Every structure is written in C-alpha cells, then in structure tokens.
Structure 1
C-alpha cells in the first residue's frame, strides 16, 4: 500500500475511532461502545477471528485475549480462569459474546451473533460486559466485524452529505 493509501486508511480508522456507536438488537438496546485509539496514540488494533485465535495462552510471550461484544480485552490477569486447562479457557482467544449471554461453555455458542437472544439475556450480557470486562480488563483492540458494522452505519448516516 502506498503512503497515500495508508493516509486514507488511517483517516478512515481515525474517523471510526472517534465516532460513537451502539450495537442495536431488534429487542433491546445495549450500552454504547466507544472505539478509542490506544493510549500510546496508536490506532486500536483490529482483530480477525484468525488473529485473535493466536492469543490463547499457549505462547507465554503473548497476552491472553478474549472479545466480548467485539471489544478485545487482555484477560491475562485472569489466566487462572481463561488460561490453558482452566475452567473458562474455551472463552479465550475468540469473541465469546453469545456464550456469555447464554452462560454457556459449549463450543457451538462461541460466536457474537446476538439476534436470537431474549431481552433478559441481552440485559445480563450488558451487565457482565460493563461490570466485569470493562471494569477489570484493559481494552487492546476491536474485532473486525465491529468496525465493519460501524462503517456501514456511518456511511448510511452521512449518505448524501459526504
């Protein structure tokens, strides 16, 4: 990618990072997620499913990561819970949003699709997201699907104005 392309990509990411958006279910509005740049001034890291899968605790030189609602947290502090062989290790190295909402440790529930959740489950997910993950673990990035969804919403909102 040439320098002009990089500048355009950075400008696009900065716009996304500075924008505020919410994930909306047809049944329940969850709390707003703010996409922020890294405290060092670098843009936040964007993870794909393949990339986050490398942070499962197998390599001690890498942090232990987990995503909830598209927000990637460093859960290394909770390695006794999420590390290899621990009780909640299945939640690590992926976006486990749906599983957390369902209080499930089944492999089939390890995804981020909220469309089939009840209001009660969405409310519980929001509580766990805010009161556990947002309070306890540092944010290290965002899942690519979250950025893509937000980009589409931004385009729709400003269509005709850009």
Structure 2
C-alpha cells in the first residue's frame, strides 16, 4: 500500500479512537503515543504501519538476536544489567527509567508520566515483569520474568509487546537471568521461549477466533483495593456489539487462567468459572486479594 495512504489511515484511525475514548489527548503528541501503547489492537496497527506487510517469520523472531530480513544488527547493545542494577532505574528523583521484557532492557524515560513514580505503569519499571504484561497480575509475585506455561494467546501478546518496544523505545542492554547469561549470551531458556512463541504464532488464526469469542476483560489494580475486572464493548482490544460477563477462563489443561468477557449463550462452557462473591449478571467484579 502507498506510504502516504497508510499514513492517512494511521492518522484517521488513531484520531478517531482518541477522540472517542479520551478527547483531551488530541493536542498532545506524547500522550497520543503513550496512549496507543496501552492497547494491543493499536500496537498491532502501528506494527503494520511501520513495517508494511511484514512476513510472519520476522514478527515471530522478534525475540531473537537474528534479524531475518537481512538488515545488520547495528543496534545490538553490549551492556549487561544485573537485577539489582536494573532496580535502580525507576525514575526516582528525576532519574532514568528502564524496564526489561524477556531479558531485553529498554529506556522508557520519555514515558515518565506512565512509567515514573506514581504513573499507571510504574510497577514495570526497574524489573523484568514479562509475565505480568499478559496476565495482568501486577503484584510483586506476578511481576516476574518466568513465562513458562502461558497460553498461546499470551505468547503472541508477548511477541507483539516486544516488537512494539523494539520499534518505539531504545533497546539499551540485556538482563542477566533467565534469557541471557552474565556475558549476554542467550540461554537454553531463551531458546525454549522462542520456540513457545513460534508454536503459538502457528496457531494465531485459531487463537484470534477464540479471542473474539472470549475477549479479555479490562483490568485495573490498586494496592489499597486490589484488582477489578470488568467488561465493555471494547475490552481486550476487541470491538463488538455486546458487553458480556467477567468469568475466569481456564485452559484445557487447567494450568492457565485469565479473565474473559462471556456472552450469555456461552456461560455454561466447562472452561468458565464464576468469580466468588460476584453476582452472575454483574459486568464488573472485584477479585479476591
């Protein structure tokens, strides 16, 4: 598609979404950028806009050191962080803000309003909270780098978020831990994770259909209140003409659980469970602390 046409579509779509959702952002380009980062659907759109009709192989390999389009690895950093060192970069006293995703460290200082102290995503700063990007568990025990046993859609979500950060923030180093060793070399776990993402991507079409049937809930977390999940006509990045009811959605092997918005006709599905102390017809539920 012609670059100018793509640019026009990008501007029109983003302006429409923002004008509908939060019109006061229209005049602040930094807020528009950070607003877009919060929605998987817009992340995917901007990935398409920047990269055009990229091949799936390039997208699937976003977590790899190898760039399959043949471009040189000029941006590959050599700095290695320990977890203790990374924890110092939370933006306190006006300092820099770094976060890690699947072992890759990014400088998100320009998103201080969101990642800095008091910001809505401050819990991601100074740690590798890869798992929480897709589980929505923002408590300390959920902000971990271990992504073992996630569902296919979760691995696809991690792939998309990593692709987003690689394109929109500065990749400055690697975190010693599960994905990279003390010399910055990839670990066996790194290659396992890469395979999990690849296998998940092979089932993307089926997962997309499943996501449309059981879209993810909206979720927010407040330390003093806990987590709240709720459904709307645009939750989980899925625009639809129904709201749905929040339910715990179990994977077939019962190892993974997430919140899903469910239509009345699907409430009897064996993979769905009601949240305790939440009315059956409620569209919003507080989760147990």
Residue of structure 1 in register with 2:171 after alignment: 139
Q: 2-side partners of 1:116 and 1:100: how far apart?
A: 14
Alignment counterpart, residue 110 of structure 2, candidates 62, 77, 83: 77
Query: Hey, which bits of structure 1, 4+ residues long, moved more than 3 A?
Result: 29-32, 35-39, 149-153
TM-score (norm 1): 0.65
Which sections of structure 2, spanning at least 5 residues, go unmatched?
A: 1-59, 67-72, 189-289
Q: Return the structure number with greater relative CO, CA threshold 8 A, min gap 6.
A: 1
The 5 A counterparts of 1:1-162 are: 31-34=62-65, 44-60=78-94, 62-130=95-163, 132-145=164-177, 146-148=179-181, 150=185, 153=188
Structure number, greater radius of gyration: 2
Q: Assess, with a 3 A threshold, how the Cα gap between structure 1 residues 117 and 124 changes in structure 2: closer, same or farther.
A: same
TM-score (norm 2): 0.38
Q: Assess, with a 3 A threshold, how the Cα gap between structure 1 residues 80 and 152 changes in structure 2: closer, same or farther.
A: closer
Q: Assess, with a 3 A threshold, how the Cα gap between structure 1 residues 47 and 78 changes in structure 2: closer, same or farther.
A: same
Is the contact between residue 30 and residue 123 of structure 1 (CA under 8 Å) also seen in structure 2?
no
Q: 1-side partners of 2:85 and 2:63: how far apart?
A: 25
Superposed displacement of residue 37, structure 1: 7.3
Aligned residues: 120
Aligned residues: CA RMSD = 2.4
